[in-house]
């Protein structure tokens, strides 16, 4: 058993650390958040480096890297904000749906363009009345000759409005299917089709990437854009969840580390009652506990990455990882805000952004309560 990175993985980590400081540093991250501006410069720099090909097979010009390399990539990019990592990981794990379930024609059409940065991907699953219960979607897709006629609404679709984006969208083709998941399909829906409207939502989080409501009125989606088998969409939807939740785990570790580093520095410098606040037992012990949790949770995160790499089913582990990492980031952000007091409420402190990110991540990608519910089943408690 070896807990260290290989030489190649360590070199990759150093490359990504340097890239993050140069292209997604503290001031740039803060600016994109405050101005609610998409980090186009970061995207362009990543495209130039070939990062979008990280998870794409070599036959299409990609690197064919594993989940461990991807976790290193995401953890480093999330140093100052989960948002900076999501600029890449949202389209990248969305693209793996085409890798895993696309036809040869779809793979040849979309994957090379994606690697060149000409194509983006995003996920559109959630609806106003279908969040955690993903099988209850009502957005309809009626097959008519050579196309599906799509009507309905999607909610909280991150990055769906960006140029050249294709939404990996869940739709219902059989409203009477029993169980309901058997009537679900997944379509590749370009965001510029007639009848499609995108409305950006004013969330407290996701300010740089942007999240939208998607309205579809008689949108014609070519039949060739069906991903996977007809009425086999549930397999596609659940097939990417381990990747999605693992990226959340890695990103939370990256942002939590930066968060904790900043609190530690502050606790060593801030003087009250003639001593640095880190010397107060309550402050010091709380920071020690957070440091201990981060060490254990990061190790668990990379165990999950190893399991994905080795094709070992890990729904149980990745659900637990989602619970642990998101709560850790929230605890680190909250501690920073409490120890810094009023200063933490200012954008210059970064902690109000960390806190906003943490609140989103407790829900996004699978709510904490739902993950616990899933775990009770997997652990034989119900």
Residue range 39-54, pLDDT digits in tens: 999 999 999 999 999 9
Burial (CB count within 10 angstroms: exposed 0-12, middle 13-18, buried 19+), residue 223: middle
The CATH fold assigned to 7-118 is Butyryl-Coa Dehydrogenase, subunit A; domain 1 (1.10.540)
- Written out in words, the top-level CATH class of the domain with range 121-230 is mainly beta
The whole-angstrom separation of Cα 204 and Cα 36 is 10
Mean pLDDT of 330-351: 92
Distance, in Å, from the CA atom of 164 to the CA atom of 212, rounded to the nearest integer, reads: 15
pLDDT of res. 128: 93
What CATH code is assigned to 238-378?
1.20.140.10
Residue 301 — very low, low, confident or very high, per pLDDT cuts 50/70/90? Answer: very high
Each residue of 71-111: pLDDT tens digit? 999 999 999 999 999 999 999 989 999 999 999 999 999 99
* H or E, element range at 296: helix 281-309
Pairing mode, strands 147-158 and 140-144: antiparallel
Q: Which range (64-68, 240-244, 345-349) has the least confidence?
A: 240-244
Cα 82 to Cα 120: distance, rounded to the nearest angstrom = 18
Name the DSSP letter for residue 198: E
* The pair of three-digit structure tokens given for residue 192, joined into one six-digit string: 């510029």
Q: Which residues pair with 121 in a beta bridge?
A: 166
- Which pLDDT belongs to residue 237? 85
pLDDT at 356 over 90: yes
Domain boundaries, the chain: 7-118, 121-230, 238-378
Q: Is the pLDDT of residue 240 over 80?
A: no
Confidence at 177, pLDDT banded by 50, 70, 90: confident
Kind and range of the H or E run holding 90: helix 82-101
* Integer angstrom CA distances of residue 126 from 100, 123, 133, 318: 22, 9, 9, 20
Residue 322 pLDDT greater than 90, yes or no: yes
Q: What is the mean pLDDT of the chain?
A: 94
Average pLDDT (236-259) is 91
pLDDT score for 306 = 95
Band (pLDDT 50/70/90 cuts) for residue 180 is: confident
Q: What is the pLDDT of residue 131?
A: 84
Q: pLDDT tens digits, residue range 254-290? A: 999 999 999 999 999 999 999 999 999 999 999 999 9
364 pLDDT higher than 90: no
Q: Give residue-wise pLDDT tens across range 109-161.
A: 999 999 999 999 999 999 999 888 888 899 999 999 899 999 999 999 999 99
Asked if the model's pLDDT at residue 1 lies above 80, the reply is no
**Cβ-contact 158, 90 below 8 angstroms:** yes
Contacts of residue 178, Cβ cutoff 8 Å, sequence gap at least 6? none
pLDDT band for 174, please (50, 70, 90 cuts). Answer: confident
Non-local CB neighbours of 369 within 8 Å, separated by 6+ positions: none
């Amino acid at each position: 058993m070896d807990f260290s990175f290989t030489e190649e993985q360590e070199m990759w980590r150093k490359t990504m650390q340097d890239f993050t400081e140069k292209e997604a540093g503290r001031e740039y991250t803060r600016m994109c958040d405050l101005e609610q501006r998409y980090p186009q410069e970061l995207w362009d720099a990543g495209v130039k480096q070939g990062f979008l090909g990280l998870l794409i097979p070599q036959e299409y010009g990609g690197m064919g890297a594993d989940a461990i390399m991807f976790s290193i990539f995401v953890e480093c990019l999330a140093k100052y904000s989960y948002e900076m990592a999501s600029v890449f990981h949202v389209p990248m794990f969305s693209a793996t749906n085409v890798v895993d379930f696309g036809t040869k024609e779809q793979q040849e059409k979309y994957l090379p363009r994606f690697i060149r940065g000409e194509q983006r991907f995003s996920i559109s699953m959630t609806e106003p009345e279908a969040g955690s219960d993903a099988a209850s979607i009502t957005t309809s897709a009626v097959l008519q000759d050579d196309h599906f006629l799509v009507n309905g609404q999607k909610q909280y679709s991150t990055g769906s409005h960006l140029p050249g984006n294709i939404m990996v969208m869940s739709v219902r083709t059989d409203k009477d299917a029993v169980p309901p998941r058997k009537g679900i399909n997944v379509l590749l829906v370009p965001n510029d089709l007639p009848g499609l409207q995108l409305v950006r939502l004013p969330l407290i989080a996701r300010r740089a990437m942007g999240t939208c409501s998607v309205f579809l009125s008689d949108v014609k989606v070519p039949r060739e854009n069906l991903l996977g088998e007809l009425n086999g969409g549930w397999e596609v939807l659940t097939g990417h969840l381990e990747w999605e939740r693992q990226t959340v785990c890695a990103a939370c570790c990256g942002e939590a580390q930066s968060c904790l580093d900043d609190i530690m520095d502050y606790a060593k410098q801030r003087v009250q009652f003639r001593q640095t606040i880190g010397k107060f037992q309550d402050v010091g012990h709380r920071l020690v506990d957070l440091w201990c949790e981060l060490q254990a949770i990061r190790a668990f995160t990379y165990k999950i990455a190893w399991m994905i790499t080795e094709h070992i089913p890990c729904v149980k582990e990745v659900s637990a990882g989602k619970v642990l990492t998101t709560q850790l980031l929230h605890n680190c952000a909250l501690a920073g805000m409490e120890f810094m007091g009023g200063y933490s409420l200012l954008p210059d402190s970064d902690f109000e952004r960390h806190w906003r990110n943490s609140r989103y991540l407790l829900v996004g990608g699978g709510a904490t309560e739902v993950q616990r519910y899933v775990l009770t089943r997997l652990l034989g408690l119900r």
